[in-house]
């Protein structure tokens, strides 16, 4: 059970200091989550902290590879405009 940061990450650092398991680390070309440390914040917070502050839709996936913040969910930009 672990989350994953993918290439759309912009390296904004917002998630790193929030992680209660210290699972997030700076890496090139983008930040990464150590799957051995991440427990999706269970026991610490109701919501996964990284996914709750990440400003980039689709940058954080759950263990099934599904984005926790799907397109349009944060910016409210209609999905057909995002494609443009």
User: Pattern 12-51, binding to another protein, x per CB under 8 A?
Assistant: xxx--xx--------------------------xxx-x--
- Based on CB atoms, which residue is closest to another protein, 23 or 36? 23
Instruction: Name the nearest CA neighbour of 49 among 64, 26, 69, 71.
Output: 69
Instruction: Name the nearest CA neighbour of 32 among 61, 65, 69.
Output: 61
Q: Burial level of 31, CB count in 10 A (0-12/13-18/19+)?
A: buried
Residues in 56-75 at the binding interface with another protein, rule: CB under 8 A: 56, 74-75
Which residues contact another protein by CB under 8 A?
Answer: 10-14, 17-18, 45-47, 49, 52-53, 55-56, 74-78, 81-82, 84
């Amino acid at each position: 059970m672990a989350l994953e940061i993918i290439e759309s990450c912009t390296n904004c650092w917002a998630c790193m200091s929030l992680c209660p398991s210290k699972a997030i680390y700076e890496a090139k070309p983008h930040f990464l989550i150590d799957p051995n440390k991440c427990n999706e914040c269970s026991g610490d917070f109701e919501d996964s902290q990284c996914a709750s502050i990440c400003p980039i839709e689709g940058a954080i996936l759950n263990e099934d590879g599904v984005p926790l913040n799907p397109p349009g969910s944060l910016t409210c930009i209609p999905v057909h405009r995002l494609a443009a």
